[in-house]
Chain A
Amino acid sequence: MWTLLDSVRRARRGAVAVEFALTFLPILYLFAGVTDLGIAYYREIGLSNAVAAAAAYAQATDYSTVTVAGSSETPTASTVTAANVETVLQDAAAQSMPGVTVTPSAACYSFPVNTTTFTSNSTDAVPCNGSSCVTSATTIKYVEIGLSTTYYPLFPSLSRVGTEGSQPLSKIAWVPLGC
């Protein structure tokens, strides 16, 4: 037994193969990680761009109707619809990352003027178009613009990106609308 161990320790042949096997594994992990993280971040940038385009659309469509909270102007009805925002999200995503399946979502909520954190509680939900929060000058209507996709890593077991071979990615923006 010991003589066998000694002879293995003294052996000098095959050292290159052993070194290759030892370094190959970490290099493979690094390669897989860089590739999968890179693609995942690239997708996330694509989501960001589409959400930004939809936010710009909501503002452009609503531009003439936005009223500064607390001002004496009469709030006017918003013309933005959730369905249109979702269409813009879908089409803008198709422009910047063709072939990638995305799920758009848009919904409107009404919050008090000095709200700083937004949550999509169903109790605050209001229709996007129309004058649904006009009853009070102390509330602002926001449209929540969300876009999500699922990234399937190329090397899930090596890169450890995602769980069970998939990584959900999503972006959300809150844009104020006229009431």
Chain B
Amino acid sequence: MLKAGRTVGRLLAERRATAALELALVSVPLLGVSLGAIDLGLILWTQSALQGVAADAARCGAVKGTACSNSNTISSFVRTEAANWVLGSLLSSTSSPLTVNVSNSTTSNATCPAISVTSATFETVQIETSFFANNLLPPPFGIGSYTIDVCASFAIPPSS
């Protein structure tokens, strides 16, 4: 008992290695904030990239290039272009990472508001994916599972 008390007293009086101790204390929240910032950055990157892909695909579908003649080819256009921008290994399912919905005219689904004018038909592309559900970084550090849902529309020009 007396010996233990002496050890505690000596440790309290100890002034060496304070930097290492402070680093150990600070590094826990610092690491959390850093990894969280990386996660958030990756999510925003992916969302913004998919938004761009949706806009490109909607335009491609509207002007009816050979690459986008029907909803199947538009879907593969989306997958091909998204693969160039999105880090596929960060998505929940790497075998079929993106859900692509292609619609035209005024049909609207729950998450993608249609453009409601009668004077033109719009090609609408919606992309949905789940991010980080395979927990590359555990939720205390990462943000956990997050659903990214983007959509874009482009007016179909008249076939002259």
B38-73 interface bits toward A, Cβ cutoff 8 Å, 1 = contact, 0 = none: 000000000000010001000100100000000000
Q: How far is the CB of B125 from chain A (nearest CB, A)?
A: 10
How distant is the Cα of A43 from the Cα of B158 in the complex, in angstroms? 31
A64 at the interface (CB under 8 A from B): yes
A87:B154 contact, CB within 8 angstroms: no
| Additional A-B contact list (17), CB under 8 Å, known A60-B155, A61-B155, A91-B153 | A53-B155, A56-B155, A57-B117, A60-B120, A60-B158, A61-B119, A63-B158, A79-B119, A81-B119, A87-B115, A88-B155, A91-B113, A91-B115, A92-B115, A95-B113, A96-B55, A96-B150
Q: Which residues of A contact B157 (CB under 8 A)?
A: 59-60, 63
Q: Chain B residues near A53 (CB, 8 Å)?
A: 115, 152-155
7 A-B contacts, Cβ less than 8 Å apart? A49-B51, A53-B153, A60-B120, A61-B120, A81-B119, A87-B115, A91-B116
Report how far A73 CA is from B91 CA in the complex, Å.
54
Write out the residue numbers on chain A whose beta carbons fall within 8 Å of the beta carbon of B113: 91, 94-95
B102-160 residues at the A interface, CB under 8 angstroms:
112-117, 119-120, 122, 150-158, 160
Is residue A166 contacting chain B, with contact meaning CB distance below 8 A?
no
Contact A91 B155 (CB under 8 A): no
**Given contact pairs A64-B158, A91-B115, A92-B115, A57 touches B120 in the complex (Cβ within 8 A):** yes
Residues on the A chain within 8 Å of B150, using CB: 96
Interface magnitude class on chain A: 20 to 34
User: Is A167 an interface residue, CB under 8 A from the partner?
Assistant: no
Query: Is chain A's interface secondary structure helix, strand, loop, or mixed overall?
Result: helix
Chain B contacts for A56, CB-based, 8 A: 59, 154-155
Contacts of A57 in B (CB 8 A): 115, 117, 120, 122, 155
Asked whether any CB of chain B lies closer than 8 Å to the CB of A84, the reply is yes
Q: Do A64 and B151 contact each other (CB < 8 Å), given the known contacts A91-B116, A94-B113? A: no
Task: Please name all residues of chain B whose beta carbon is closer than 8 Å to the beta carbon of A79 when the two chains form the complex.
Answer: 119
B124 nearest in chain A by CB position: A95
What 0/1 pattern do residues 68 to 111 of A give for CB contact below 8 A with B? 00000000000111001001100110111000000000000000
Alpha-carbon gap, A60 to B154, bound state (A): 10
Say yes or no: A96 contacts B51, CB within 8 Å.
Answer: yes
Residue of A nearest to B108 (CB): A91
State how many angstroms separate the Cβ of A130 from the closest Cβ of chain B.
14
Residue of A nearest to B149 (CB): A98
Interchain CB contact under 8 A, B155 and A95: no
How many Å lie between the Cα of A95 and that of B51 in the bound state?
10
Check B153–A87 contact: CB distance below 8 A.
no
Complex Cα–Cα for A56 and B155 (A) = 6
